[in-house]
Amino acid sequence: MTMTRAQSSNSPDDDAERVSAPIFTPILPPRITSTAHAALERREYEDTIRNRAKGETDDLIVLIKNTFDEGLLRQWCRLRWKMSMSNVTDELILAEVEKIIST
């Protein structure tokens, strides 16, 4: 038998039956694919080897794109520049960072 709101509010076990309900649903953060330190070291190693394979002087130069946080870069590419990550140049990233710093 179902009770009306007036009947249920008069019951002595009213507090025990109450359950909190969220008013809104929180926005979930981006999914973390790997928290392993080894995965990060592997990515840095691959970037270093890729740079060394380009030539003698290129092994000393690290691209800004490779040092930039991948998630942030992906969002900037999608929302600010509306282009793929493969088309982004270091000059574009540097100009955007300088614009942010100067304001």
> pLDDT, tens digit, for every residue of 15-61?
567 777 666 666 665 555 665 777 777 777 877 777 776 666 555 66
In a domain, 41, yes or no: yes
Contact 72, 81 (CB under 8 A): no
Residues 79 and 103 in one domain: yes
DSSP state at residue 54: T
Residues 54 and 74 in one domain: no
Q: How many domains does the chain have?
A: 2
**What residues make up the domain containing 103?**
68-103
Residues 103 and 73 in one domain: yes
Tokens of 14: 């009213």
Burial status of residue 68 (CB atoms within 10 A of its CB: 0-12, 13-18, 19 or more)? middle
Residue-wise pLDDT for 1-11, tens only, equals: 555 555 555 55
- Residue 63: pLDDT band with limits 50, 70, 90: confident
Is the pLDDT at 64 greater than 80? The verdict is: yes
In a domain, 93, yes or no: yes
Residues 54 and 72 in one domain: no
Task: Select the highest-mean-pLDDT range: 45-49, 85-89, 96-100.
Answer: 85-89
How far apart, in Å, are the Cα atoms of 94 and each of 35, 71, 97? 28, 17, 5
Residues 59 and 72 in one domain: no
* Kind plus residue range of the DSSP H or E element containing 17: helix 14-17
